């Protein structure tokens, strides 16, 4: 009887181990911390507006270097336009599990081959404070470092 209990316990433990999300490399940097300062405030009923604190505005239109993960927005193996995140696809709530991470819309000078591994990009950081429905942050003329 004891052997059966131990066997069942081992089987259940193996199922629990398979269901766990793998831990990703932490990409948090001072630049990601600045991007995370953006918040939304309600300006009237059902109307919200993005707020960009001065420290975040200080990097607007500046060349930055930032690590992260490629989040494809189209089918393919290499991309000139994609989203860039502090967490990998598997941690994205739209693609896997987790909370909604800060993301940057990237436009590169040359296509970059998709990888699950983190990469570092360098490009011109733009804050979109127009209130339109495009991305809030852009990295333009980006290159892989």
Distances (CA, A) of 82 to 19, 51, 78, 111: 28, 24, 10, 10
Report the alpha-carbon distance of residue 80 to residue 38 in Å, rounded: 26
Mean pLDDT of 109-119: 94
Tell me if 61 is assigned to some domain: yes
For residue range 12-52, list pLDDT tens digits in order: 444 444 444 556 667 789 999 999 999 999 999 998 889 99
Is 70 among the domain residues?
yes
The pLDDT of residue 56 is: 97
Range of the domain at 71: 27-144
Average pLDDT over the chain, rounded to an integer: 82
Asked, for residue 18, whether it belongs to a domain, the answer is: no
Kindly state the tokens that stand for 93. 């709530």
The CATH number that applies at residue 122 is 2.40.50
Residue 2 lies in a domain: no
pLDDT in tens, 1-10: 555 544 444 4
C-beta of residue 142 within 8 angstroms of C-beta of residue 125: no
The count of structural domains within the chain is: 1
Question: With bands split at pLDDT 50, 70 and 90, how would you rate the model's confidence at 132?
Answer: confident
Which pLDDT belongs to residue 28? 83
Asked if the structure places residue 16 within a domain, the reply is no
Structural domain includes residue 7: no
């Amino acid at each position: 009887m004891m052997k059966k209990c131990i066997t069942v316990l081992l089987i259940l433990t193996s199922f629990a181990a398979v269901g766990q999300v793998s831990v990703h490399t932490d990409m948090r940097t001072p630049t990601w911390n600045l991007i995370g300062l953006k918040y939304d405030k309600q300006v009237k009923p059902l109307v919200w507006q993005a707020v960009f604190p001065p420290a975040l505005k200080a990097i607007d239109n500046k060349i930055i270097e930032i690590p992260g993960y490629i989040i494809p927005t189209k089918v393919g193996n290499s991309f000139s336009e994609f989203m860039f995140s502090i967490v990998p696809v598997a941690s994205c709530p739209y693609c896997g599990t987790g909370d909604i991470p800060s993301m940057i819309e990237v436009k590169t000078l040359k296509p970059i081959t998709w990888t699950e591994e983190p990469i570092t990009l360098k490009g011109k950081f733009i804050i979109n404070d127009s209130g339109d429905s495009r991305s809030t942050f852009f990295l333009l003329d980006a290159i892989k470092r």
